[in-house]
Amino acid sequence: MATFEDLHGDLRRFAYSIARHEHEANDLLQDAFEKALVHSELEQWPRHKQKAWFYRVMKNELIDQRRKLQRETEWEEANEPAFQAAGLTAIETADLLRSLSPIQSDIVFKRYWIGLSSNEISEQTALTASTVRYHLAKAIKTLRKQLEEDE
C-alpha cells in the first residue's frame, strides 16, 4: 500500500480533472482504491503501469456513472404527468391528491408542482431515488384510474 500512497497526489489531480465536483472526484478515487485492494498483484507492477491502471479504472467508473444517470433521466422524462392535461381545477386536483397515501401525495406534489427531480426528492424524504420513482409511478397509475372512473 505504500506504493499507492505515492500515487495519491497524481490520482487526486486526475480525478479532479475529469469529475464535475469535489465529491464526485473523491468517490472516483475511493472506488479505484477499493478495486486496487482486490488486485494484490498491482503492488508488483512498475509505477507507470499502476498509475495507468488507476486512471483507467477512474475513467471507466465515471463513464458508468454518467450512463446510469442518463438512463435515470430518460426514464423520468418518459413518465411525465398523466393528469396535467385533464383540465382539472386546482381544487379538483387537490381532492384527487387526497386519495393518495401521504408519501405518494407528497412526492407527486414535489415532482409536478415544485419541479424537483427524483434525486432531489430522495434527499428531502430520505428515500432512495428508485423508491421515489416507484411511489411516483404507483401514484400516477392510481390517479389515471380515478380519472377514468370519473369520466
Q: What is the pLDDT of residues 5-20, one digit of tens each?
A: 788 889 999 999 998 8
Determine the longest span between alpha carbons in the chain, in angstroms. 72
Does the pLDDT of residue 80 top 70, yes or no? Answer: no
Which stretches does DSSP call E strand in 28-105? none
Q: What is the pLDDT of residues 32-56, one digit of tens each?
A: 999 998 988 888 899 889 999 999 9
The predicted structure's pLDDT at residue 28 = 92
- Which of 66, 13, 60 lies closest to 32 in space, CA to CA? 60
Q: What is the pLDDT of residues 101-134, one digit of tens each?
A: 999 988 988 888 788 888 889 888 889 988 999 9
91 phi, psi to nearest 5 deg: -70, -45
Query: What's the whole-number mean pLDDT along residues 22-28?
Result: 90
Residue type, 77: E
Quote the pTM value: 0.49
Does the pLDDT of residue 90 top 70, yes or no? Answer: no
Does the pLDDT of residue 85 top 50, yes or no? Answer: no
Residue type, 122: S
Here the cell at position 35 is 478495486
